[in-house]
Amino acid sequence: MPRSYLQEARKRVGPKKERIGPIIERLAAEHADAAIALRFRSPLELLVSVMLSAQTTDVNVNRVTQKLFEKYHKPEDYLAVPQEELERDIFATGFYRQKAKALRGTMRMLIEEYDGEVPRRLEELIRLPGVARKTANVVAAELGDPEGIVVDTHVRRLSQRLRLTRQEDPVKIERDLVRLVPREDWARFPHLMIWHGRRVCDARRPRCEVCPLAVDLCPSTRV
């Protein structure tokens, strides 16, 4: 995109600190149903679902966990079967050996250090085997105590298009976003960005003509 166009667009839309409120408001109105796509009934099922979602789709995870959660109800259940059996049960999610190992390690730590309960604090969640910052952020947010902002591919791409960040690294992008997004919106902001990215702001063919952010809030729009 030519520098002259970018400079003109930035002047048109205004500073990001002034835009973030209206961006969230319009996306919330446009995607009132925006929420996590994973299906779960408990904090443990949430944690397992998010751990299994790496490198696969939420639809695929939901298909697998529909049967998985009928068999495994508590941390002890994941340790009561041979690892090979757990691997077969989650095979369809991909990377099943690593995921099974991480799940068993996490369940063991939950039993030994957290009385079988899923911790809610980010610093505790990231200690669990196979739980990186993104996974921990998702779990903490869904359990009602977000300590950061989830940055997935959609959040990264849209944040860059909206010029909310110039960073490429997810950790640095999150750092920019937590300074910008009001804390009360930390949990819903990623969902709004994800659903908008799926429905409207496609990576290759963004539908700017129907985007509620076009013209006055998005410096990348071509409308």
pLDDT in tens, 45-72: 999 999 999 999 999 999 999 999 999 9
φ/ψ of 168, rounded to 5, equals -110, -35
Residue range 151-177: mean pLDDT, rounded:
96
**Three-state secondary-structure class, residue 22:** helix
Active site residue 67: no
Mean of pLDDT over the chain: 94
pLDDT of 187 > 80? The answer is yes
How many residues are present in the chain?
223
Residue 13 has what pLDDT? Answer: 82
Q: For the segment 6-42, what is each residue's pLDDT rounded down to a tens digit?
A: 555 556 788 999 999 999 999 999 999 999 999 999 9
Q: Tokens 């910052």 correspond to what residue? A: 133
Residue range 157-172: mean pLDDT, rounded:
97
Residue range 149-159: mean pLDDT, rounded:
96
Distances, alpha carbon 110 to alpha carbons 78, 88, 91, 98, 106, in Å = 11, 23, 23, 18, 6
Residue 5 has what pLDDT? Answer: 45
Residue 196 has what pLDDT? Answer: 98
pLDDT of 97 > 70? The answer is yes
Is residue 31 within 8 A of residue 199, CB to CB? The reply is: yes
Active site residue 134: yes
- Where on the phi/psi map is residue 149: left (φ > 0), alpha (ψ -120 to 50), or beta? beta
Record the tokens describing residue 216, joined without a space: 């006055």
Tell me the C-alpha distance between 211 and 201, whole Å.
Answer: 8
Residue range 111-133: mean pLDDT, rounded:
96
**Element housing 119 (H / E):** none
Residues 6+ apart with CB under 8 A from 192: 24, 27, 28, 31, 34
Catalytic member of 134, 172, 176, 216: 134
Record the tokens describing residue 67, joined without a space: 């049967």
Residue 222 has what pLDDT? Answer: 78
**Element housing 74 (H / E):** none
**Three-state secondary-structure class, residue 56:** coil
pLDDT of 1 > 50? The answer is no
Catalytic member of 58, 101, 152, 176: 152
